[in-house]
Structure 1
Amino acid sequence: MKLRGKQKRFLRAQANHLQPIFAVGKEGLTQNWLAQLDGALDRRELIKVNILQNADVDTDELKSFIEDNTDIQVVQTIGRVLVLFKVSANKDLRELSDRVARI
């Protein structure tokens, strides 16, 4: 699903109260980390990822790594925090993506 402006604005509003549940640290970006991120997004559809101070990557590298290797979309970048969205593979957990599709 390619997000339009109004849909991104809705998702940013929904992510406002969320705390980052994933972090990128000194180990950097690995396929195992990406698989865990993908699994978490299947359950939640919208999460925040924090880049720690000791990480060797910046936000642009993280954004391109995520978008090139998965179908996860970066909704917003706030400093060292990224807001990510993905439609859940489980139809029972698609509450947020159904609301986004109606916008």
Structure 2
Amino acid sequence: MTLNNKQRQYLKGLAHSLKPVVLLGQHGLTEGVLAEIDLALNFHELIKVKVAAEDREVKTLIMDAIVRETGAVKVQTIGHILTLYRASEQKKIILPKA
């Protein structure tokens, strides 16, 4: 799934007041963390994940792996916070048309 600019801006506005739902700690990206992100995406559709990595390249690799493994769309990245969107069966968030 790809988002156009209008949809991305709409999701950024919705995500502005959200707090990170999943925090990656010292053990990094594990199967348990991926399962938790997947569960949160199924329930909320739009979530924030905090990736606490010191090295910028490592942080980018972890964020790319999260997007790839969950099948979600990266809405934005600000510092250590990654905002993800994946539509669920209930369609809680209605995206604007192009």
TM normalised by structure 2 equals: 0.86
- Any runs of at least 4 consecutive aligned residues in structure 1 with deviations exceeding 3 A, and if so which? none
Root-mean-square deviation over aligned CA pairs: 2.0
SS in 2 for 1:3: coil
The 5 A counterparts of 1:1-103 are 1-52=1-52, 58-88=58-88, 90-91=89-90, 94-96=91-93, 99-100=94-95, 102-103=97-98
TM-fit CA distance, 1:53: 5.8
Unpaired segments of 5 or more residues in structure 1? none
Residues paired across the two proteins, number: 97
Unpaired segments of 5 or more residues in structure 2? none
SS in 2 for 1:87: coil
Structure-2 separation of matches of 1:64 and 1:54: 16
Structure-2 separation of matches of 1:74 and 1:67: 7
Structure-2 separation of matches of 1:101 and 1:31: 33
TM normalised by structure 1 equals: 0.82
Residues 16-69 of structure 1: per-residue CA shift (max 9 Å, x gap): 0111111111010012210110111101000111123679x8431122111222
Deviates more, 1:10-19 or 1:68-77: 68-77
- Say whether the 8 Å CA contact 1:50–1:81 is kept in structure 2: yes
SS in 2 for 1:100: coil
